[in-house]
């Protein structure tokens, strides 16, 4: 259908939106068949002194609406890079902003497909104001609902802020649709819901033979612990010394965080701390329990380490720590120790925690001693101050376990919080 309007003596033709556009296909690929209800289909760009085209396309470069994923309500917008580069204009922004207001009111997740060259220069200040409103709505939504953004093309200018403010950011790939559907099925829609306990076909007491050989590889330890080795990793490209993602234990979503000593030499970076802290904030908002797997000898960035501590202490969800290697210094205190609020702490029988290296401790305590004496005292220091038994005797760990028994003990500890779960509506 073609409609004609008059504007300043010129004819403007409004054309029907292309029904085969990538922007629409992305929406249909993630939603249940036949569930999409489009909002604002016929909205067009407002003309300005610098924008008086003879032809404009309906929808103004962004498709908005709602539908279901696995029966769960979601609100979705998809920018169309084929219409003015997906640029963010006044009406384009108004459509997204209205979608956000509806999603917040409905307590439903927002999913955004980003493909935009940034602000629409032809519209000037009106575009800027719409951007400001969107930022404010995202900030409001961050306290209430799940927000997932997928970068499917260009993401320039102010749209980078939109992406960074989301809870989860994904990149375009052949698995994108499946990833989004998995997240919606796994996670609560809003901050008033709790994770749903789904079926679990895995053995709850499954032995993890050979797990000690994966010491230092937090990613593989989390995967081995999870039901059917499921692990949905996030932010793989940044802070590689820290692994974050979602796992399942007895059918329930758990946030997994692990140091990645084999890739970092046992050091945690400021970026790694920030990555983990933001993930803890998300899990806290959605009432998702936390499991940390720790193995670190040093760290950088006291400010970022403090950010992690604040996130851990603010999260009121169940928190369990598994010490799966050797931890030196205050890294032990920072990384989900009992002192910062861990509910349960387990340690492998091959693990260790020390204030400093035992030989260095002996050198400090006996500065004039010969090497043989220092080595003997260092071994004594290790047994009395660093061993798993030393920690257990002081009450800093709840149980010393064999690596192969890790799944059953961790799962059992999380099950003690079963009465705190609420039904997902």
3-state helix, strand and coil shares in percent for the chain, rounded to the nearest 5:
40, 25, 35
Query: How far apart are the C-alpha atoms of 168 and 184, rounded to whole Å?
Result: 11
Q: Could you tell me the pTM of the whole model? A: 0.88
* Structure confidence at residue 387 as a pLDDT band (50, 70, 90): confident
Q: pLDDT for 177-206, tens place per residue?
A: 999 999 999 999 999 999 999 999 999 999
Number of other CB atoms surrounding residue 422 within 10 Å? 11
Q: Which residue has the higher pLDDT, 118 or 100?
A: 100
Q: In the 8-state DSSP scheme, what is residue 296? A: -
Q: In the 8-state DSSP scheme, what is residue 46? A: P
Number of other CB atoms surrounding residue 424 within 10 Å? 16
For residue 208, the SS3 value is coil
Query: How far apart are the C-alpha atoms of 198 and 180, rounded to whole Å?
Result: 18
User: What are the CA-CA distances from residue 61 to residues 82, 171, 218, 243, 395 (Å)?
Assistant: 8, 20, 42, 36, 60
CA Rg value for the chain: 26
Contacts of 43 (CB under 8 A, 6+ apart): 58, 59, 60, 91, 94, 95
Question: Looking at the predicted structure, is the pLDDT value of residue 2 above 60?
Answer: no
Q: pLDDT for 216-232, tens place per residue?
A: 999 999 999 999 999 99
For residue 354, the SS3 value is strand
Conformational region of residue 230, where left means phi above 0, alpha means psi within -120 to 50, and beta covers everything else: beta
DSSP 95-150: HHHHHHHHHHHHT--EEEEEEE-SB-GGGTHHHHHHHHHHHHHHHHHHTTB-EEEE
Six-digit token pair at 404?
Answer: 């192969």
Q: pLDDT for 245-274, tens place per residue?
A: 999 999 999 999 999 999 888 899 999 999
Q: What average pLDDT does the chain have?
A: 88
pLDDT value of position 357: 78
Query: How far apart are the C-alpha atoms of 406 and 420, rounded to whole Å?
Result: 23
Residue with tokens 């990613």: 219
Mean pLDDT to the nearest integer, 33-40: 95
Mean pLDDT to the nearest integer, 41-46: 76
Mode of pairing for the β-strands spanning 319-323 and 290-294: parallel
């Amino acid at each position: 259908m073609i409609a004609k309007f008059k504007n300043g003596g010129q004819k403007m033709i409004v054309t029907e939106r292309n029904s085969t556009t990538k922007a629409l296909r992305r929406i249909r690929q993630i939603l249940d068949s036949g569930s999409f209800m489009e909002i604002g289909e016929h909205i067009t760009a407002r003309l300005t002194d610098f924008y008086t085209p003879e032809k404009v396309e309906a929808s103004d470069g962004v498709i908005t609406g709602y539908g279901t994923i696995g029966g769960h309500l979601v609100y979705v917008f998809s920018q169309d890079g084929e219409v003015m580069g997906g640029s963010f204009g006044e009406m384009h922004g108004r459509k997204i902003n209205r979608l956000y207001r509806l999603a917040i009111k409905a307590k439903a997740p927002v999913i955004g497909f980003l493909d935009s060259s940034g602000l629409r220069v032809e519209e000037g200040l009106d575009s800027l104001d719409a951007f400001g409103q969107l930022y404010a709505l995202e900030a409001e939504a961050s306290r209430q609902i799940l927000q997932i953004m997928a970068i499917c093309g260009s993401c320039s200018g102010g749209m980078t802020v939109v992406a960074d403010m989301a809870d989860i950011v994904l990149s375009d790939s052949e698995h994108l649709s499946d990833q989004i559907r998995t997240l919606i099925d796994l996670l609560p829609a809003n901050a008033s819901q709790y994770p749903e306990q789904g079926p679990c076909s895995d053995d709850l007491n499954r032995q993890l033979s050979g797990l000690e050989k994966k010491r230092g590889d937090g990613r593989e330890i989390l995967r081995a612990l999870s039901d059917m080795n499921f692990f949905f990793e996030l932010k793989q490209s940044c802070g590689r010394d820290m692994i974050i993602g979602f796992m399942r234990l007895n059918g329930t979503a758990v946030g997994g965080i692990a140091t990645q000593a084999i890739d970092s030499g046992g050091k945690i970076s400021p970026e790694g701390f920030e990555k983990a802290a933001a993930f803890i904030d998300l899990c806290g908002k959605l009432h998702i329990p936390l499991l940390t797997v720790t193995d670190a000898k040093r760290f950088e960035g006291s400010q970022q380490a403090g950010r992690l501590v604040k996130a851990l202490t603010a999260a009121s969800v169940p928190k369990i720590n598994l010490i799966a290697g050797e931890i030196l210094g205050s890294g032990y205190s920072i990384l989900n120790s009992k002192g910062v609020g861990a509910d349960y702490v387990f340690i492998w029988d091959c693990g260790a925690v020390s204030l400093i290296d035992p030989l260095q401790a002996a050198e400090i305590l006996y500065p004039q001693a010969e090497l043989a004496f220092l080595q003997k005292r260092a071994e004594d220091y290790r047994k009395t101050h660093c061993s798993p038994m030393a920690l257990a005797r002081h009450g800093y760990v709840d149980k010393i376990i064999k690596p192969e028994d890790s799944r059953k003990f961790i799962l059992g500890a999380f099950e003690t919080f079963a009465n705190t779960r609420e039904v997902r509506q």
